[in-house]
A and B are shown apart, each in its own frame.
Chain A
Amino acid sequence: MWKLFQIELYKIFRRPRTYIAFAAITALIVIVQLGLKSDGKEYSEFIMADLKNSIEVEGNIVNGYFVCYVILQLLLIHVPLLIALIAGDMISGEANAGTLRLLLTKPVSRTKFMLAKFSASAVYTVLLLIWIAILALFASILIFGTDDMFIMKTQYAVQIENSDVFWRYCGAFCFAALAMITVAALGFFLSQFAENSIGPIVATMSIIIVFTILSTMSLPIFSKIRPFLFTTHMVTWKEFFDIKVNDANEAIKGTVQHPERLIRSALVLVAHIVIFISVSVALFRKKDILS
């Protein structure tokens, strides 16, 4: 299976379309960084306008940690679309090229074949996130420096000490990886139902767009179904940037306000991955391969 996995990885990274996602992410991050470098003060004043009715915040607010948070907020909604490009092509691409039947003539079980293909798409997803981390976090730290992180949430603002931020990003990126692998699993699942790549890619994108709209619209009618949508749990990485306070309203270093939300969302995402892959393998094992 290791050999199979290596071959699949080679196939992914030999295709030019693989690098579209890396290029798009690079362009987006550089644009945001340039914008914040030139007008970061205006941006921070805009989002803190309501807060400034009562208080003043002094210091390097638009620092590398803050910039990375802004980029992740913007990007992690759109990255699933880029992942769908690869994951939705994993089986359907082979079917379209007429190589699926040929591949299955080799002495490898269909389960191993499917797991190797999914593992390769998961590795691609993780590499994409590592690339985001390098550009959004490390490059932003180089450009904007570091300081305490001051972020505005809907009902309150959170100040996290400089030395208490980095581990939160490690956790947030790990969580984001889990969320993106869920998207890869969905694309991979849909990939076996078509004989060309367009269908599964568009279907994955459509599901994510519809679910994201349902997750984000604050209407009571959608509030009951929201917990069952995996897109709702994909944004839970933000919980790493909320901190507990003691009775004297002092922020407690090294804490997370709602760890139970992180655990619940992580379990929901893992369950989705397991279901998508198990069903994919089960269906593929019984499938009559004609292409």
Chain B
Amino acid sequence: MKKIVLLLLLVSGFQLAAFSQDMTELVKKVKAKLDQVNDYVADGKMKTDVTFIKAPVGKVKMYYKKPGKFKLRRDGGISVLPKGGISISPGALMTTSDFVALAAGEAVVEGVKTKVVKLLPLNENSEIVLTTMYIDEPNLLIKKATTTTKESGTYEMTFSYGKYSSYALPDKIVFSFNTKDYKLPRGISMEFEDDAKPSELDKMKNKKGKVEITYASYLINKGVEDSVFK
């Protein structure tokens, strides 16, 4: 009896290993597609949607360079970004080959059937703890990614693709992140009139923040100076 149980365990263990390997292959294929892009400069528009920030939609320029350098600049203005200066690019999601990819089923994202893959970095010092990717397998495109980090909490990215899908570069990214309560003492703000009703204040608490970037054009593999990222 013991032998049968052992045998069953061994078989199931091998099956799990084999399944995990399949996902690693899929992730490697996606990474290979992303690796076509060594660098890019993109123009687009950025919209910041955080309950306690009133910000206009602004033109932005984004710079990317392998293996994970990313810089976003607002055209002649101030840019509001999620904490930690997180890289808003699919290429920046996979900067290393040292990971374990585990299958976690299937899901439909924006009407597209995707494979759900849990990506665990092998490096203990990695800032990323876990990334869950929703991969459109036939097109090798990441449709959605949820990343849990050590310092910057959990954030989610959804990608919409268009004319640059052959490079796995999105036309639109929606970056969602958790926000904490904000309040400035009246002694510093020097405001003495009550601005919001209690119900409006409740709405502002513990809401998700969003940064939405719509790309207008990409300039791919034309070289980007390292000084841009400083």
Which residues on A are within 8 Å of B, measured CB to CB? Answer: 47, 50-61, 73, 147-148, 150, 152-162, 164, 215-216, 218, 226, 232, 235, 238, 242-243, 245, 248-251, 253, 261
Segment 149-194 of B: residues with Cβ below 8 Å from A: 177-180, 182-186, 188-193
Rounded to whole Å, the gap between the CB of B190 and the closest CB of chain A is 5
**Cα(A171)–Cα(B171), bound, Å:** 41
Contact check, A56 vs B85: say whether CB atoms are below 8 A apart: yes
- A152 partner, pick from B50, B56, B58, B189, beta carbons under 8 A: B189
Q: Hey, which chain A residues are within 8 Å of B84, CB to CB?
A: 56
Given contacts A61-B78, A235-B192, 11 further A-B contacts (CB under 8 A): A47-B188, A50-B184, A59-B77, A148-B78, A152-B189, A153-B189, A155-B182, A155-B195, A155-B196, A245-B54, A261-B193
- A59 partner, pick from B74, B179, B190, B192, beta carbons under 8 A: B74
Contact check, A50 vs B77: say whether CB atoms are below 8 A apart: no
**Cα(A160)–Cα(B78), bound, Å:** 9
Q: Is B57 interfacial (CB-CB < 8 Å)?
A: yes
Q: Size of chain B's interface in residues, with CB distance under 8 A?
A: 42
**Cα(A253)–Cα(B55), bound, Å:** 10
Rounded to whole Å, the gap between the CB of A14 and the closest CB of chain B is 36
Segment 55-82 of B: residues with Cβ below 8 Å from A: 55-58, 74, 76-82
Contact check, A155 vs B183: say whether CB atoms are below 8 A apart: yes
Contact check, B191 vs A153: say whether CB atoms are below 8 A apart: yes
Rounded to whole Å, the gap between the CB of A70 and the closest CB of chain B is 10
Q: Is B90 interfacial (CB-CB < 8 Å)?
A: no
State whether A155 and B55 are in contact (beta carbons under 8 Å apart), knowing that A54-B50, A148-B78, A250-B47 are contacts in the complex.
no
Q: Hey, which chain A residues are within 8 Å of B83, CB to CB?
A: 52-56
**Cα(A157)–Cα(B183), bound, Å:** 10
Q: Hey, which chain B residues are within 8 Å of A253, CB to CB?
A: 56
